[in-house]
Amino acid sequence: MKFPLGVGLSCAAAIVLSAAAHAQALPRGPYLETCSNAQADGRNLMAQCRNTAGIEHRAVLINFPRCVGPIVNDNGGLTCDFGLR
């Protein structure tokens, strides 16, 4: 079965737009200086962060939108101040 070129392009565009819709802007913070491959997925922020010895660790900060202060790399882990909300 053959599909017209327009159908194939429409499907490809829908897949790309769907992936872009799930992408989320990264929050700013000093963690970006010592962490790489950061990704925001819903309420979780994930990154590869170096500890004080320079070893990279997979770090996850759950509920990062609730952070009231900067997100920092604390010896290979992501952390912030959640405040009293």
Query: 11 in a domain, yes or no?
Result: no
Whether the predicted model's global pTM rises above the 0.75 cut: no
What CATH number is given to the structural domain containing 57?
2.30.60.10
What is the SS3 assignment for 78?
strand
Q: What's the structural domain count of the chain?
A: 1
Confidence at residue 83, expressed as pLDDT on a 0 to 100 scale:
82
Token digits for 16? 């790309």
Query: 17 in a domain, yes or no?
Result: no
Confidence at residue 15, expressed as pLDDT on a 0 to 100 scale:
42
Query: 1 in a domain, yes or no?
Result: no
Query: 84 in a domain, yes or no?
Result: no
Confidence at residue 85, expressed as pLDDT on a 0 to 100 scale:
54
Token digits for 36? 């790489």
Query: 33 in a domain, yes or no?
Result: yes
Domain that holds residue 65: 26-79
Query: 19 in a domain, yes or no?
Result: no
What is the SS3 assignment for 77?
strand
What is the SS3 assignment for 27?
coil
pLDDT per residue as tens, the chain (85 positions): 554 555 444 444 444 333 444 557 899 999 999 999 999 999 999 999 999 999 999 999 999 999 999 999 999 999 999 986 5
